[in-house]
Chains A and B, each alone.
Chain A
Amino acid sequence: MVGAHVGNLATACTEAASSDGSPPAQIEFRNVTKMYGRTAALRDFSLTVRRGEFLTILGPSGSGKTTALMILAGFEAPSSGDILIAQKSVAAVPPFRRDQGIVFQSYALFPHLTVRQNLEFPLEMRGMKANDRLAKVDRTLEQVHLKEFGSRMPSQLSGGQQQRVALARALIADSPVLLLDEPLGALDRNLREQMQSEIKQLHREFGKTTIFVTHDQEEALTLSDRIVVMRAGRIEQVDAPEALYDRPISRFVANFLGEANILSQDGSDTFKGGAPAGKVAMIRPERITIRSFAFPSVDLEKRQSVMGHVEEMIYAGPLRKYHVRVGDEVLVVREHVASGQLIFQLGDRVQLSWLRSDVRFLAE
């Protein structure tokens, strides 16, 4: 009975996808609000996810990103608004009848089942025959390079291996949608980068509509087609990674994705950078050129410049970061380390300059 229902839903998904020329909307949030008592975890959340898209919901903890995902998965009911999957409202569909693969925070592998049994579970629930299951699990185990680990218990796997099992388990039933809830949070840096590229590769291979929730901006920039930046239950900005980094609309987005020098509103004229009322000027640290006070850059047609002195120098491998005090402000400058480069010392007088076109005006 469950199987039949799901079958319908799955077909519905495919039909909807092929009926339109442009990539059709696979998932749609319509003005979804979720209240917990008096506090809104999600406010008027509207979002369309296209078929095959890799979309990341990015935000600090408590910004509502996981709530949005849990509402989509059906574990939380929206207080108002609607969710559509393949143009059909799923507000009344319980989670076990929504065809979605989910990777949970800390994986949620069944500790009492072996890796193989974990992978079999979604297939079994869909009523697949034992023989077919066997073949499918074998194939999947090979795909995720865990062929020898089928009979292990999850607790006997390393973090990266557990992560792969969780991914495989979410993919194995060929659900059209893949939901990932901070899946890389528990891994160390190297492993995380490796898993990022594996996830990216899987997405290229299977082309599933993927929604990825994270608070890690680097992860978001690396993986996504589009990024939704959340703030206090609301969507702050939705855009492709490059656009988001390059043209943030607000101070919040600029600060959350990468580092940002906010040029104060009330300082000198240079610092205002010509910002209109109610807006602030922002320049990214890597857009600033740092020169010795003695040899300033002079192309003042296109460039703005200020004088200051080095307050701190941070060496970070391929990068060198300077904190430069200019009046009351401290600007951060990031420079790639190259040979023959002049290295400034603490207290050195320097000139900072940047292209006028690199300055962005943001909402406060």
Chain B
Amino acid sequence: MSLLNEALVVVVRGVIAFITLLIFTRVLGKQQLSQLTYFDYILGITIGSIAATMTTDLTARAWPQLVGLITWTGAVFVLQWITLKWRYASKYIDGEPTVVIMNGQIMEDVLKKMRFRVADLLEQLRTKGVFDLSEVEFAVLETNGQLSVLKKSQYQPVTANDLNLPTNYKGISSELIYDGVVVEQNLQQVNLDRPWLEAQLRKLGFNDPSEIFIASLNTNGDLYIDAYKDRVKNLTDISDYH
């Protein structure tokens, strides 16, 4: 078999593995990476590894590897279904959130059991903006390894509700222009039309939507516009290297 043929086989197998993975990840749903448990993470690596082997290991037939890929994806799918339907299984498979600080007290035995060092705890607290242990009322280690922190009430930020201040509704903004192209569907959703948008652009000194990188409209009716041509006169350079 010539080198060219070998390369061709790798390319074809690679394309097949790529599309298969794409289909399987769509089947497995939209679980975010940040929500993955340690086991999910390992499952992902295993499935990726099988796909990689399927692409480059020409000493083995691709079919058993595709079967392996289907089996692992099927197992993940079944596991997802079980954890969705059966709470006990979910607790056993995904684990449970664990309280590591309770009423301001660090639970040393829990940390030891989970092989979680105090240094790890402090690091996670710092990433949550907590630099003083005395500010923490509760800290819970979630199944995805993230720490959720509840500060003592005296250290929590004041909200508008605390001050009995009225607030306006704030929803999701709609993108009206994306990469120079008007998103007609979003315009219709907010009951506006192209002439309105073009009039707004003219007011701001733009002649055509193609000059705009992104334009979005928030629920208060404020239009945010960013043009391709930036009008910043003095650019701040944060780099240390020149």
Do A and B form a real pair? no
